[in-house]
Amino acid sequence: MMSVLQAIALVLAAVLATMVVFTRDPKRQIMPYMLYGVVLSIVFALLQAPDVALSEMAVGSVAVPFAILATLVRIDHGRRAK
Amino acid sequence: MIGLLAFVVPAWIFVIGLYGMATSRHLVHLVMCLSVAQSATYVLILEVGYRLGATAPVFSDVLSTVRATDPVVQALSLTDIVVGATVSALLLAFALRIYKTCGTVDPEELRPMRG
Amino acid sequence: MNARAVLGAVACALLLGMLVWGFAGLPPYGHYPGPYGTLINTVASHERQLPNAISAVNFDYRGADTLGEEFILFAAVAGITMVLRNDRKRTTPEPLPPTRGRPPAGRTEAVRLFSVAGVGVTIAFGVYLGIHPHLTPGGGFQGAAILAGFAALTFVGLGYDAFQRIAPQTRNEVFEAIGAGTYAVIGLATLAISGAFLTNVLPLGGNGQFFSAGTIPLINAFVALEVLAGFTLLFLEFARETRVEKEEEAGE
């Protein structure tokens, strides 16, 4: 049972990783990236690593998307202001 | 079946992250692909430490001799995830600085410095 | 598909093949053989009097590695501050002007309410997660990363001004330095006391109690302080990027 869950979660992670890479526009890439963080957290939890799952959830939903959004806002403003 | 899948998936994630970095046209897209490639190593190292039918190495309610996964790889991964996110933020700051200086975020259009 | 994409795909396919071939030489999945993990699982609970073997590895058995990682975080945040700082310009509290054809949406009451309510929940959960790594899964890194979410929520719900008032920059820098430096000082103190860096010299207490496991909760508290201040500083620097810059001295 656990093996089936792990297999499903790993395949889902691989599919989402492909989606993250092939979404070329960064403004649209943030959403698959955050989803990938959630699925990765589930993979870590299924691999019996609770600390790592907590870490990934905390970081992937708070820290990096904030920085990405702020960067994109600034770049977008600079582009339009020209 | 799970054995083969377990080692193909981290390799696939790593390689697809590398491909995304190599063919990227936007520096922020590149940073996210780098983050994806980094995460492949976490998956692999946790899979190495996994034991069939084992539980997490936290012994609050079970005896210390019960079958548990490896705590060393988990300790290494969890600090690495937080630090990796901060380094990604540093790379985003660099991307922003490049944009302010050169006016573009396309790696194709950046030229090496001369003179 | 241009030439670079095709070449990249071919090279990545080759790399994928070689990686899978290399991974096939590892022990089969689920049959972890190594003696180190088994040994730590068996003795950590008894030697250090704590249930969570991962924290014992993080702050005691491999404490020097965690010190190095913490300093990577410190250096990365210092690098962000240095790269994004314009030392001759200050930022005004106004946000960047809207760039598309429609007026800005403004901040509705619902956003304010849920952000402020979320701050309390975030702080409570972050402190709960970060304060006792020796008893439950958690610890300074995760707890402080969640706790720093209060900064992002304040910025979203109450604006840059409130964010600046709650988390001023100099105080963040001081706390970050205190957190990082105290870890090193504890290490040096244990070196002076017992001759080896970061040995566990404080009394160990009983298994499962709050005051147990020696230096581990102490180190963890300072790691949490450092990671919290580091992430808040990171958010501050990036939030500052969304403000208008004005020249302070003309002709500089």
What's the CA gap between C45 and C35, in Å, rounded? 17
> A residues 11-30 near B, CB within 8 Å?
11, 13-14, 17-18, 20-22, 24-26, 29-30
CATH T-level topology, domain B2-51+66-102: Helix Hairpins (1.10.287)
Residue C25 lies in a domain: no
> Token digits for A19?
């989606």
Assigned token pair, C219: 């180190």
Crossing angle of helices B71-102 and C140-147, rounded to 10°: 40
Using the Cβ of C236 and the Cβ atoms of chain A, whether some distance falls under 8 Å is answered with no
Q: Is residue C10 part of a domain?
A: no
Q: Is C83 on the interface with B (CB under 8 A)?
A: yes
What is the pLDDT tens value at each position of chain C, 252 positions in all? Answer: 588 889 999 999 999 999 999 988 888 888 888 788 888 888 887 777 788 888 888 888 888 888 899 999 999 999 998 888 865 456 666 666 665 666 666 778 888 898 889 999 999 999 998 888 888 888 888 899 999 888 888 888 888 888 888 888 888 888 888 888 888 888 888 877 777 777 777 766 666 677 777 788 888 899 999 999 999 999 988 888 887 765 443 333
pTM attached to this predicted model = 0.89
Burial class (CB in 10 A: 0-12, 13-18, 19+), C129: buried
A72–B69 C-beta distance less than 8 A: no
Question: What chain B residue is nearest to C233 in terms of C-alpha separation?
Answer: B86
Single-letter amino acid code for the residue at C48: R
Task: Assess contact for A57 and C125: CB atoms under 8 A.
Answer: no
Q: Does A21 touch chain C (CB under 8 A)?
A: no
SS3 C52: strand
- Name the domain count of chain C: 1
Mutation pick from C54, C57, C96 vs chain A, by most beta carbons of A within 10 Å, is C96
A62 to chain C, any CB pair closer than 8 A? The answer is: yes
DSSP lists the bridge partners of residue B31 as none
Domains in chain A: boundaries: 2-80
Cα B53 to Cα A48, C29, C43, C92: the distances in Å are 10, 12, 21, 58
Range of the domain at C80: 34-98+107-244
Of all residues in chain A, the one with the smallest CA distance to B47 is A47
How near does any CA of chain C get to the CA of A46, in Å? 13
CB atoms within 10 A of CB C174: 12
Q: Do C84 and B96 touch (CB under 8 A)?
A: yes
**Domain locations in chain B as residue ranges:** 2-51+66-102
Pairing verdict, β C243-247 and C89-95: antiparallel
> Would you tell me which residues 135-154 of chain C have a C-beta closer than 8 angstroms to some C-beta of chain A?
137-139, 141-142, 145-146, 148-149, 152
Residue C1 forms part of a structural domain: no
